[in-house]
Structure 1
Amino acid sequence: MNHDAEILATQIDGIAHSLGTWIAGGIGHLKNRPESWGFAGNPTLQTLTMLHVALEGTSAKSPALLECGSGFGFVAALARELGFSVTGIEVVPEYIELSRRLFPAVRIVEDDLLTWDHFGDFDVVYYNGPFAHDQIQANFERRIETRLRPGGIILAVRKVDHTWQASGAFDLLWTDGALRWVLRKHPAVA
């Protein structure tokens, strides 16, 4: 990545952090939803790496990407600029309103990830561990893995369930070794 891109990524991270602190009160649980994080960001350079791996790993020309818990829409906006067709899912109306004002070309839908069941409609699913409780998070991850279309890609930040390794249903495309994972579902697995 060139120096200008690194500077821009640092500025984006600063803006996202400031908005997260100002609007969401920093990283913490959502009011009235203690199972969910109110705000959690991923460094822009790491996000870009994951998005590029997904682009290289899919055969779709304009892959459909779902951002789970889109917050202020930064990841969805980055993905759109890279050529993804993007949909964000968010449960907090104030976050949706702000993301629509910041990024009017990005589609953000108000819905609840605890009941959302359309993961198979997308080529790529991105999430940054939206649930604070590990069991709820693990159930969410398994729902994605089960419903994801064959050849679909998961971009996971804070993955708590690793049963995918024993299942043989996924290939590891990339990881930072601890927190971030890019997985592709085998084309033959339905």
Structure 2
Amino acid sequence: MFGSFPSEAEPDGAVFGPHHFYLGVLLILLVCWVFYDADDETGPWGIAGLTLLSVFSFALTWPYYPAVGAVGVLVLLGVATLAAMRPRWWRYGVVPQSALLLGLLVAWDDALSHALGWRTPLDSLWARYLYPYVSDPYVPEEVRLPDGIGLPAEVRLPEGARLPLDLKALVAEQVGGALAMVPL
């Protein structure tokens, strides 16, 4: 269960890849921005600052000093989570507080996965449902356009392509390729 710390010297071998850590951070910063009140001196600066420092630890420290970067991410996310529990967030209602906690949970999921090597829920979702689809997407052999829809005259198809094109197959192929570029 606990091997070397951190489990990965550099998260997924590419720290600037599309990690879901960054998606959680973006949600946290979006909530802080939306609920920023210029008249309120306290503001959400604590959570926003801690979140940005965790990005610094994840992206710029972890690849060069893995243990320091991993500890930094975990500690900073922990303090940001405690700050999100403050009564300040209660006055905004359940939805903003839930969105803030959801962003923190998504960031925690990726941080724990890379730091401790645990199989986390979002990694399991990726491995079980999304990765098999993007690694071998189904594309029907015959491609055709729906009736009444044609290609513009300036569009030239590669040699050997048969017309008419199947829009469903085209979408299936493109979505698979797009998802392959987004490792969770």
Task: Give the TM-score normalised by structure 2.
Answer: 0.26
Q: Which has the higher contact order (CA 8 A, sep 6+)?
A: 2
Task: Give the TM-score normalised by structure 1.
Answer: 0.26
- Structure 1 or 2, whichever has the larger Rg, is 2
Give the structure with the higher percent strand. 1
